Structure 1
Amino acid sequence: MSDREKLIALFHERALKFGDFTLASGKKSTYYLDGKQITLHSIGLRLVSLGLLDLLKDVDYSAIGGMVIGADPIVGGVLVAAAEQGRSLDGFLVRKEPKGHGTQRYVEGPLKPGSKVVVIDDVVTTGGSALQAVDRILEFGCTVACVVGIVDRKEGGAANFEKRGLPFRSLLSIEDFGIAAPANG
């Protein structure tokens, strides 16, 4: 079984739920992918981290990060996996609100203006969370080399990134779970 197949099986086992759900985008759905069930699991995080490094092997970037909570474990995992490969890489996290004390920044980490970065998200529906992170990163003075998701639900995220001129990649798509992508996605 390949690492990709293992990751898909782990999503089926731990993170894919059926029912009536309202997504962060506000959309209604009959299924929910809880990415944190994967990224907060040792094997899941390892598979995701190595997969992302491989997915991004031809992208020129020096830091990886995204919105807090969703991106937190992914950033940590990718940094450890990069170090194991002998690669120097910085991480960053983007707050929803600026820190109320100290530096009062939206962007946390050793990131410097002018850096080329990758913005990550666990599950991409419309791309709203990743685009929030992109806006903060651009305000900070960095260039976004790529936006990447673990799973693309194919519900407009890729198109929204394209409208902004942002390259997008994902490790998996909803079709990998036997679920048809919406016709408008």
Structure 2
Amino acid sequence: MDRTLLAAEIDRTCRLHGSFTLRSGQVATEYFDKYRFEAQPTLLRAVAQEMVPLLPPKTEVLGGLELGGVPLATMVSSLTGLPTLFVRKQAKEYGTRRLAEGGDPRGRHVTLIEDVVTTGGAVRAAVLALRELGARVDVVVCAIDRSGVTDGPLTDIGLQTRALFTKADLDRV
């Protein structure tokens, strides 16, 4: 799918208007409901295909963040053959008690996959936790960066944000 058409379809499918409290506590008058494109197989695949070129060449493992990053990471994994970790918001308190399911991130270059980044709070927590486990994490690839920050909101922890679309991109369609 053409990038401009994809942006228009994402915007048409996902942008909601109203009053929404974001994870960060901020209140927004519009919201990008990523589940609306992630639940559509054709649209999910199109987004994932466009995310593949954003992956750094040194990527050894994809890290899909709970919950919205998991379908994207799974689809990108299917397209690239790269293994995937499913990264929880916090380690579960039963069973394996793991933060990241699907393998050991220690010593591996993990590229995080996220749906929408605004302040980067969930990504920040995941990066710090994965680094504590010995992973090398320096890039997050997201479908939509609505932060409005040129380099992304996570440069202070040495994390580069690579976005398929920014909010400004979607505002132009």
CA contact (8 A) 1:65 1:120 kept: yes
**TM-score, length-scaled by structure 1:** 0.85
Cα distance in 1 for partners of 2:70, 2:64 equals 8
Name the aligned partner's letter for residue 134 of structure 1: V
Runs of 4+ with >3 A deviation: 155-160
Equivalence for 2:38: 39
Equivalence for 2:85: 92
Equivalence for 2:66: 68
Q: Does 1:120 align with 2:133?
A: no
Name the aligned partner's letter for residue 169 of structure 1: R
Specify which of 102, 121, 131 is matched with residue 109 of structure 1.
102
Q: Does 1:137 align with 2:113?
A: no
Unmatched 5+ stretches in structure 1: 84-88, 180-185
Equivalence for 2:50: 51
Equivalence for 2:157: 164
Aligned with 1:25: secondary structure?
A: coil
Cα distance in 1 for partners of 2:40, 2:79 equals 15
Judged with a 3 Å threshold, the aligned counterparts in structure 2 of structure 1 residues 146 and 160 are, in CA distance, closer, same or farther, namely same
Equivalence for 1:20: 19
Percent of aligned positions that are identical: 33
Name the count of aligned residue pairs. 172
Cα distance in 2 for partners of 1:155, 1:66 equals 23
Name the aligned partner's letter for residue 43 of structure 1: T
> Which moves more between the two structures, 92-101 or 106-115?
92-101
Cα distance in 1 for partners of 2:80, 2:96 equals 28
Judged with a 3 Å threshold, the aligned counterparts in structure 2 of structure 1 residues 112 and 124 are, in CA distance, closer, same or farther, namely closer
CA contact (8 A) 2:19 2:29 kept: yes
Structure with higher RCO (Cα < 8 A, 6+ apart): 2
Unmatched 5+ stretches in structure 2: none
CA RMSD between the two structures: 1.8
Equivalence for 2:142: 149
